[in-house]
C-alpha cells in the first residue's frame, strides 16, 4: 500500500486500522508505505509512531512538498510486494474494496487477467465544481488516448509491481499511469468503488488543476504517440506550414510579375498591402521552425533513448529465459 500524505495527521491511524482489518479478514500479507509530502502538521510524528507500533508500516519524508507524483514514485521504488495499491490518506477511499480489486486483477471474476485496475467513483461525495470538470476531463482523456476509464483522477488503483520498471513518474503524471501503461501493452481495466465523504482535512485541488491537467494530457499524448518519433508530429506540422507558406509566396510572386506585364497603366500589385502575404511568410517561417525543432528532437531521442527500450516483453519461453 503506497499512501501519499499531506497534512492528514488525524486520519492515518484510522486508515491503518481499516487496512489491518481487511488484511486479517482475507489473510493478506501487506506492507504500508506512508510518504509524507512535506506536511506542516504532525503527520510525520504520527507515521513514526505507527511504524514503531507496527512492523508492516514504513515512512518516507520529503524535505518539502514535491507533489503527488513524486510521492507515489518514491513509494513505488520502496515497495517490495508483487501487487501495489495506491490510495489517498483522507479516508475517502474504502479499504474494503481491496478484495474486489484483486479479483478483477487476477481474473477470478470470470474476465481476463489485468495488469492495472483503476477505481471508478460512480457515486461521488465531492462538490459539483469538482465533479463537472472531472467528467469532462475523463472524457477528453479517453477520446485523445483511447484508454476509456470513467475516473482517471481516482487515486485508488491497483498495479502489478513490474509495471514501474517501465513507467516512471514525474511532474503530475500520476493520474495517467493507466494511459502510460496501456501504451506499452499492459492490460487496463476498472471497477466501481465506494467513495466516502471527507472526514478530515480539505481538498488539495483548485481551479488551477484543470489547466495543469490539460497540459499534462498534451504531454501524455505526445509521449505515448510520438515519444520515440517526434519528427513524425513536428515534421508533419512543419511540412504543412512550409508547403502552405511556400505556395502562397509563389502565387503572390507570379501575381506580382503579371501585374506589371499586362497593363503598364494599371495599378501595380503591392505585396505589403496584402494580408495573405504576411500569412504566407508566417506559415513559411513557422514551418521551417517546426522542422528544425523536430530534427533536434530526433537527435535528442536517438542519443538519450539508447539506454531504454521501446518495447515491453510479456513473457518468454524457457529456452529464451
The mean pLDDT of the chain is 84
Q: Residues 30-48: what's their mean pLDDT?
A: 93
- DSSP structural state of residue 268: P
Residues 199-254 pLDDT 10s = 765 665 555 666 777 777 888 888 787 777 888 888 888 999 989 999 988 888 88
pLDDT at 126 over 90: no
Domain check: are 35 and 133 in the same one? yes
Distance of CA 102 to the CA centre of its chain: 23
Q: Residues 21-48: what's their mean pLDDT?
A: 94
- DSSP structural state of residue 175: G
Domain check: are 112 and 185 in the same one? yes
Cα–Cα distance between 152 and 16 in angstroms, integer?
Answer: 25
Q: Is residue 317 part of a domain?
A: no
Domain check: are 259 and 196 in the same one? no
Domain check: are 121 and 234 in the same one? no
Q: Residues 269-285: what's their mean pLDDT?
A: 84
Residues 136-180 pLDDT 10s = 888 888 888 888 998 888 889 999 999 988 888 776 788 889 998
What cell does 50 get? 505507527
- Give the β-pairing of 83-86 and 157-160: antiparallel
Domain check: are 122 and 248 in the same one? no
pLDDT at 36 over 50: yes
Handedness of CA 106, 111, 115, 117 (dihedral sign): negative
Cα atoms in the Cβ-side hemisphere of radius 13 Å centred on 78 = 20
Note if the pTM is more than 0.85.
Answer: no
Domain check: are 53 and 77 in the same one? yes
Residues in the chain: 321
Rounded to 5 degrees, what are φ and ψ at 116? -135, 130
Cα–Cα distance between 185 and 177 in angstroms, integer?
Answer: 12
Q: Residues 276-286: what's their mean pLDDT?
A: 89
Domain check: are 210 and 241 in the same one? no
The pLDDT assigned to 276 comes to: 86
Instruction: Give the confidence band of 321 by pLDDT, cuts at 50, 70, 90.
Output: very low
pLDDT at 116 over 60: yes
Residue at which a domain ends, from 181, 202, 226? 226
Q: What percent of the chain clears pLDDT 90, i.e. is strictly above it?
A: 39
Q: Residue 264: which domain range?
A: 230-307
Amino acid at each position: 500500500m503506497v499512501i501519499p500524505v499531506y497534512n492528514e495527521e488525524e486520519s492515518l491511524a484510522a486508515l491503518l486500522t481499516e487496512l489491518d482489518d481487511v488484511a486479517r479478514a482475507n489473510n493478506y500479507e501487506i506492507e504500508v508505505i506512508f510518504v509524507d509530502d512535506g506536511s506542516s502538521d504532525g503527520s510525520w510524528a504520527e507515521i513514526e509512531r505507527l511504524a514503531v507500533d507496527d512492523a508492516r508500516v514504513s515512512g518516507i519524508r520529503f524535505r518539502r512538498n514535491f507533489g503527488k507524483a513524486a510521492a507515489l514514485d518514491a513509494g513505488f521504488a520502496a515497495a517490495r510486494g508483487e501487487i501495489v495499491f495506491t490510495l489517498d490518506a483522507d479516508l475517502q477511499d474504502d479499504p474494503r474494496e481491496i478484495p474486489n480489486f484483486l479479483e478483477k486483477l487476477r481474473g477470478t471474476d470470470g474476465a481476463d487477467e489485468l495488469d492495472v485496475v483503476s477505481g471508478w467513483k460512480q457515486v461521488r461525495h465531492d462538490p459539483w465544481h469538482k465533479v463537472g470538470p472531472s467528467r469532462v476531463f475523463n472524457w477528453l482523456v479517453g477520446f485523445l488516448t483511447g484508454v476509456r476509464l470513467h475516473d482517471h483522477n481516482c487515486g485508488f488503483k491497483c498495479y502489478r509491481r513490474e509495471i514501474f520498471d517501465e513507467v516512471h513518474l514525474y511532474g503530475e503524471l500520476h493520474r495517467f499511469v493507466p494511459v502510460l501503461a496501456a501504451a506499452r501493452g499492459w492490460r487496463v481495466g476498472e471497477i466501481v468503488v465506494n467513495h466516502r465523504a471527507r472526514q478530515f482535512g480539505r481538498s488539495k485541488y483548485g481551479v488551477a488543476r484543470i489547466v495543469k491537467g490539460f497540459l499534462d494530457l498534451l504531454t501524455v499524448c505526445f509521449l505515448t504517440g510520438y515519444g520515440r518519433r517526434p519528427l513524425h508530429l513536428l515534421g508533419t506540422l512543419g511540412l504543412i506550414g512550409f508547403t502552405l507558406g511556400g505556395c502562397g509566396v509563389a502565387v503572390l510572386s507570379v501575381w506580382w510579375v503579371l501585374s506589371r506585364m499586362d497593363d503598364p497603366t494599371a495599378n501595380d500589385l503591392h505585396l505589403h498591402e496584402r494580408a495573405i502575404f504576411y500569412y504566407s511568410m508566417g506559415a513559411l517561417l513557422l514551418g521551417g521552425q517546426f522542422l528544425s525543432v523536430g530534427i533536434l528532437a530526433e537527435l535528442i531521442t536517438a542519443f538519450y533513448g539508447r539506454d531504454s527500450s521501446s518495447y515491453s516483453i510479456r513473457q518468454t519461453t524457457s529456452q529464451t529465459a
